A = this chain, B = another copy of it.
């Protein structure tokens, strides 16, 4: 199936965060592709895969990076599609990456999620696609309902334990 989401990693060492995204996208059955491309070390590769991806129908890009995390901004420079940024905790508790991603100037926003939150990046991407894809929107609603149920159930389990 043609991927709708492209996950780009700034470095192979951030793969664990990407796997959080992949796990959710597979649960939601949304096809995606995964790339490694560095804004600083392979800028032309970033340019190429983003332009190609946009042309090939990628709807949302997810950029995952730590430290001076420029990858999401570099993606946004080459596509009109929304870009989600995931700051990775490598140093300073991930605050360096968070500020490098979220503080983008006008008119180049990055939809930033929490530090190391590959899972939420996938949910957010699905929400964007869900704006015009009723099936995916329904899947998110179900996923959230199930998670809410899980919270409620964990509740009951604890009450039973302490009573």
Which A residues are within 8 Å of any B CB, using their own CB?
Answer: 10-12, 15, 22, 24, 33-43, 45, 47, 59-60, 66-68, 70, 73-74, 76-78, 80-82, 84, 89, 91-117, 119-121, 123-124, 127-132, 137, 140-141, 143-144, 147-148, 151-152, 154-155, 158-159, 162
Contact = CB atoms under 8 A, between A and B. Distances in A.
Contact of A152 (B10, B42, B59, B105): B42
A37 B148 CA distance: 9
Contacts of A127: 80-82, 109
A117 B114 CA distance: 18
8 contacts: A12-B151, A42-B152, A68-B103, A80-B127, A84-B111, A104-B120, A111-B112, A128-B131
A120 B107 contact: yes
A70 to B, nearest CB: 4
A73 B39 contact: yes
Nearest to A91: B115
